[in-house]
């Protein structure tokens, strides 16, 4: 059942501005004086919004609730924009963004652009003898996604030569102008993701997900153009189509995108089945497909586009499309050539109209466990390494070149840098969402669940089971084992249920459900531990326990029949106290959740097409009656991890309703780069999207109290802030008929 509540926004028809345009910049210019920190002005500018938020919080404190969900590895990103010269003999890496949240996918504006000249007119520091480095980029600060312009000033008494501060971070404060280019919180009432910004004259072109196509498994990603003076916004992508990774030609006349066209997304989780389309930047007209298979287009000149694709030999490589000079729309005359050789992965190309002999690329070599930025010499057909000599053990993503070709930018993990406010990851990250009565948080873990009073959260760390207060304090590890899925007992204080064993395993794999009292420690040979009670006895993949509100029973998933179905057992004695099979059939019923009013058990099932990978949400009464399908995203779709609201009237779940929002290859690896968090009424109506991003959100839980909507940093922290898998699915080696053994694709 699909029942979207969000109406199509009029913003796509160019009627309502996203920003104050010239008025905003005029206010900004008049507010600045010599050595004035722009953070002070931004604070004043947002004061009214802050006051309103406090009033809203007070109102929600007694009536609101909270949802906590997981994004595997997201807290470890800590991306910032860095730059260095394309003169690879210098070691002059500089940080451009401020270490606040996650900053990525940058763009160097031209010296002729409207914004460049506006920020030049703002005198920040009279001792600055050189023009600023300016970067436009995507940032996820303040719990939502926006596009910022940073102008970072350097020079003066301390820096007589550019490059004199090798590998150092540019100072912030009085040396930084920072301008949010789009409305920071809502677009016509909609939270949205932004991506791949670029500027042509006084227009900002970018991807946004603020318009709902009102069809399941349809991407919300579309390309928009916002006039930076008036704020007038136009949708360039046709309705019903999704576009990714826009790039503007040197003249500004044409924009190229990666798109699946009318075919749409078909569930791809690795390389997307996109082609390269070209259209007029001014209004999206004269749209034509120029390349059948490719992504991440980048203009070299008015008739040459570089892009990436996975080649027939299994290596991601850069290709060149030469368009007919007589008429770009004559797609049948386009010449496509492979540029980079096999033997390494090369993707996300960047070009500059003034750097004719070089393109910048991201590479993944079999000799490195990290992604790096390199230049490729088109004349000599050879690579020039840039980032590996400087930061060999950090991932580097999505290069972009300055208009004159002298600088290359990219984003990478911050590491221990002066610009970062705090290098520790966030334990709880507050995410803005359309429902003001629900506080939404991403947790640095998986499978969270709330205690009955909402004051504590238990979650798994893969491995390990942890408990923390809902304000982020008092974190403790309860179990060291590999656990997944969690649920609290409604009646016995401190009792938590979880399943111990490998995730994503077969029916016969040893996985058992245990109960553990997180308030009762006992001494043993290994020190203080928490006693647990094993509730299942056969180990046939028993998982996803959920307790009945009267505290008597546990519903769970088991593979003991040869198929994963639902069972109910005694909450204290487990199987020994009684066992009843609730569902039966040659399919998978899993991820069950008992409603707080005791009436229903929600679960995910592939019973429509067993083994086909498609899951829908079903309801069933605890006595086995009333089975019905509630939410499905369509044929081939996935809707998983249902969880009831505290009043049992709504559901939160993860789904591919919104398909993908960006090219997966441009991001760190996610098993399913399409999951977003949704809520709906318990009858399946009123579906509403809560999260917008290009990675996988999942395993949500709904608690009974309204958590204060502020980030919580995990302290103390001794791990790595960049400990994530960059290309899990690239580890598959390509098969060569002429080789005795395949070469590794990712080390």
Q: Is residue 78 part of a domain?
A: no
3-state secondary structure of 90: coil
For 490-505, how does the pLDDT look when each residue is reduced to its tens digit (9 = 90+)?
A: 999 999 999 999 888 8
Pair of tokens at residue 10: 């009029």
Tell me which residue has tokens 């949400």: 617
φ, ψ of residue 456 to 5 degrees: the values are: -135, 155
Q: Can you give the CATH number for the domain in which 398 is found? A: 2.120.10
CA distance 400 to 419: 21
Residues of the chain with pLDDT under 70: 1-61, 88-90, 112-131, 154-174, 184-189, 415-423, 522-529, 716-721, 723-725, 727-747
The number of folded domains in the chain is 2
pLDDT at 189: 57
What span, in angstroms and rounded, lies between the C-alpha atoms of 275 and 291?
5
Would you list the DSSP string of 544-557? EEEE-TTSSEEEEE
Within 8 A by CB and 6+ apart from 206, the residues are 147, 182, 194, 195, 196, 197, 198, 223, 224, 226, 246
b/e code 432-450 from CB counts within 10 Å (16+ = b): bbbeeebbbbbbbbbbbbb
Cis previous bond, 207, omega within 30: no
Q: Kindly report the number of other CB atoms within 10 A of residue 172's CB atom.
A: 21
Domain co-membership, 436 together with 288? no
Measuring CA to CA, how many Å separate 249 from each of 253, 260, 298, 356, 431? 6, 21, 8, 14, 35
338, 470: one domain: no
- Is residue 137 situated within a structural domain? yes
> How many alpha carbons lie under 13 Å from residue 560 in its C-beta half-sphere?
19
Residue 240 and residue 247: Cα distance in Å, rounded? 21
Q: Is residue 53 part of a domain?
A: no
Is residue 607 within 8 A of residue 560, CB to CB? The reply is: no
In a shared domain, residues 396 and 431:
no
CB 67 within 8 A of CB 361: no
Q: Are residues 311 and 435 in the same domain?
A: no
Is there a contact between 594 and 629 (Cβ–Cβ < 8 Å)? no
Distance CA 487, CA 547 (A): 7
Say if residue 718 is exposed, middle or buried (CB neighbours under 10 Å; 0-12, 13-18, 19+). exposed
**Spatial separation of the C-alpha atoms in residues 236 and 477, rounded to whole Å:** 50
Q: What is the dihedral of CA 539, 540, 546, 550, to 10 degrees?
A: -70
Question: Which one-letter DSSP state was computed for residue 680?
Answer: E
Range of the domain at 258: 96-157+171-349+381-413
Residue 107 lies in a domain: yes
Last residue of a domain, one of 389, 413, 437: 413
- Chain centroid, CA 298 distance in Å: 23
Q: Are residues 385 and 486 located together in one domain of the fold?
A: no
Cβ count within 10 A of residue 299: 22
pLDDT given at position 424: 73
What's the per-residue H, E or C state across 325-361?
Answer: CCCCCCHHHCEEEECCCCCCEEEEEECCCCCCCEEEE
Q: Are 602 and 617 in contact (CB under 8 A)?
A: yes
Residue 430 contacts residue 710 (beta carbons within 8 Å): yes
Question: For the residues of 395-432, what is the DSSP string, one character each?
Answer: -EEEEEE-TTSSEEEEEEE--S-TT-S--SPEEEEEE-
Secondary structure of residue 587 in the 3-state scheme: coil
Q: Which of 360, 391, 413 is the last residue of a domain?
A: 413
Give residue 271's pLDDT: 86
Q: In what order do the strands lie in the sheet with 456-460?
A: 446-450, 456-460, 465-469, 476-479
Please state whether 464 falls in left (phi above 0), alpha (psi between -120 and 50) or beta: left
3: in domain: no
Query: Are 617 and 705 found together in one domain?
Result: yes
Q: Is 47 contained in some domain?
A: no
Which residues contact residue 625 at a Cβ distance below 8 angstroms, ignoring those fewer than 6 apart? Answer: none
Whose CA is closest to 290, among 268, 259, 315?
Answer: 259
Specify whether 237 is located in the same domain as 135: yes
Full DSSP string of 689-727: E----SS--EEEEEESS---SS-EE--S--S-TT---S-
Bridge partners (DSSP) listed for residue 641: none
Q: Are strands 65-70 and 438-443 parallel, antiparallel or unpaired?
A: parallel
Whether 509 and 404 map to the same domain: the answer is no
Are 64 and 439 within 8 A, CB to CB?
yes
* Whether residue 579 is found in the same domain as residue 612: yes
The answer to whether residues 104 and 221 belong to one domain is: yes
Are 666 and 627 in a shared domain?
yes
Residue 363 lies in a domain: no
Mapping DSSP onto H, E and C, the string for 144-200 reads CCEEEEEEECCCCCCCCCCCCCCCCECCCCCCEEEEECCCCCCECCECCCEEEEEEE
Sheet holding 616-620, edge to edge: 589-594, 601-605, 616-620, 628-631
What are phi and psi for residue 459, nearest 5 degrees?
-155, 170
Six-digit token string for 281: 């930047």
Residue 332's contacts (CB-CB under 8 Å, 6 or more residues apart) are none
Phi and psi torsions of 54, nearest 5°: -65, -45
pTM value surpassing 0.95: no
Cα–Cα distance, 222 to 9 (Å, whole number)? 13
* Alpha carbon distance, N-terminus to C-terminus of the chain: 44
CATH number at residue 451: 2.120.10.30
Does a structural domain hold residue 83? no
Q: Nearest Cα to 404, choosing from 159, 86, 81, 80?
A: 86
Rounded to 5 degrees, φ, ψ at 12 are -70, -10
Q: Is the bond leading into 463 cis (omega within 30 degrees of zero)?
A: yes
Q: Are residues 396 and 477 in the same domain?
A: no
pLDDT in tens, 371-402: 999 999 999 999 999 999 988 888 999 999 99
DSSP secondary structure letters along 108-154 = ---TTSHHHHHHHTS---TT--SPPEEEEEEE-GGGS-EEEEEEE--
């Amino acid at each position: 059942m699909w029942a979207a509540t969000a109406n199509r926004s009029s913003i796509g028809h160019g009627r309502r501005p996203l920003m104050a345009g010239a008025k905003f910049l005029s206010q900004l210019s008049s507010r600045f004086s010599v050595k004035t920190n722009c953070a002070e002005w931004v604070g004043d500018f947002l004061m009214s919004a802050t006051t309103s938020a406090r009033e809203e919080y007070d109102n929600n404190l007694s009536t609101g609730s909270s949802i906590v969900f997981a994004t595997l590895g997201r807290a470890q990103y800590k991306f910032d924009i860095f730059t260095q010269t394309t003169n690879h003999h210098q070691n002059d890496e500089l940080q451009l963004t401020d270490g606040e949240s996650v900053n990525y996918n940058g763009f160097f504006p031209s010296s002729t652009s409207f914004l460049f000249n506006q920020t030049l007119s703002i005198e920040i520091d009279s001792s600055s003898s050189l023009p600023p480095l300016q970067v436009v980029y995507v940032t996820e600060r303040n719990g939502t996604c926006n596009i910022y312009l940073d102008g970072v000033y350097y020079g003066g008494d301390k820096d007589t030569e550019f490059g004199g501060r090798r590998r150092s971070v540019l100072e912030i404060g009085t040396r930084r102008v920072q301008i949010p280019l789009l409305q920071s919180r809502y677009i016509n009432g909609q939270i949205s993701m932004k991506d791949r910004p670029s500027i042509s004259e006084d227009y900002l072109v970018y991807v946004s997900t603020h318009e709902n196509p009102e069809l399941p498994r349809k991407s919300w990603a579309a390309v928009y153009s916002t006039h930076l003076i008036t704020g007038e916004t136009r949708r360039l992508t046709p309705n019903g189509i999704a576009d990714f990774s826009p790039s503007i030609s040197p003249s500004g006349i044409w924009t190229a995108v990666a798109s699946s066209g009318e075919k749409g997304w078909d569930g791809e989780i690795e390389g997307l089945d996109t082609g390269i389309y070209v259209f007029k930047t001014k209004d999206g007209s004269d749209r034509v497909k120029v390349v059948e298979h490719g992504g991440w287009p980048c203009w070299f000149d008015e008739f040459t586009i570089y892009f990436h694709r996975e080649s027939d030999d299994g290596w991601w490589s850069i290709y060149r499309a030469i368009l007919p000079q007589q008429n770009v729309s004559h797609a049948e005359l386009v010449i496509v050539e492979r540029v980079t050789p096999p033997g390494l992965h090369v993707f996300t190309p960047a070009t500059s109209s003034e750097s004719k002999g070089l393109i910048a690329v991201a590479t993944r070599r079999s000799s490195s466990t990290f992604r790096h930025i390199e230049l490729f010499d088109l004349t000599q057909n050879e690579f020039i390494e840039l980032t590996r000599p400087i930061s060999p053990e950090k991932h580097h993503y999505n290069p972009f070149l300055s208009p004159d070709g002298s600088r290359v930018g990219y984003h990478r993990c911050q590491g221990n840098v002066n610009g970062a406010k705090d290098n520790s990851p966030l334990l709880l990250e507050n995410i803005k969402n359309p429902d003001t009565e629900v506080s939404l948080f991403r947790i640095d873990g998986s499978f969270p669940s709330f205690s009955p009073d909402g004051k504590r959260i238990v979650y798994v760390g893969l491995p390990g089971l942890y408990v923390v207060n809902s304000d982020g304090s008092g974190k403790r590890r309860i179990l060291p084992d590999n656990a997944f899925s969690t649920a609290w007992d409604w009646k016995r204080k401190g009792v938590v249920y979880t399943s111990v064993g490998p995730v994503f395993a077969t029916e016969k794999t040893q996985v058992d459900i245990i109960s553990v009292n997180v308030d009762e420690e006992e001494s043993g040979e290994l020190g203080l531990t928490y006693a647990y009670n094993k509730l299942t006895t056969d180990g046939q993949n028993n998982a996803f326990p959920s307790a009945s509100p009267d505290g008597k029973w546990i519903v769970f998933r088991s593979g003991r029949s040869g198929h994963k179905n639902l069972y109910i057992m005694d909450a204290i004695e487990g199987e020994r106290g009684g066992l009843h099979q609730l569902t039966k059939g040659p399919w998978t019923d899993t991820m069950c959740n008992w409603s707080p009013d005791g009436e229903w058990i929600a679960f995910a099932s592939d019973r429509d097409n067993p083994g086909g990978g498609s899951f829908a949400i079903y309801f069933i009464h605890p006595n086995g009656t009333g089975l019905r399908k509630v939410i499905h995203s369509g044929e081939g779709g996935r809707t998983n991890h249902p969880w009831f609201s505290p009043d049992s009237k709504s559901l939160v779940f993860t789904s591919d309703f919104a398909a993908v929002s960006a090219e997966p290859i441009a991001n760190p690896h996610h098993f399913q780069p399409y999951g977003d968090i949704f809520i709906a009424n318990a009858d399946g109506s009123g579906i509403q999207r809560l999260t917008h991003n290009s990675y996988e959100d999942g395993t949500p839980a709904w608690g009974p109290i309204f958590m204060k909507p502020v980030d919580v940093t995990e302290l103390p922290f001794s791990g790595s802030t960049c400990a994530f898998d960059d290309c899990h699915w690239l580890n598959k080696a390509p098969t060569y008929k002429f080789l005795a053994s395949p070469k590794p694709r990712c080390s």
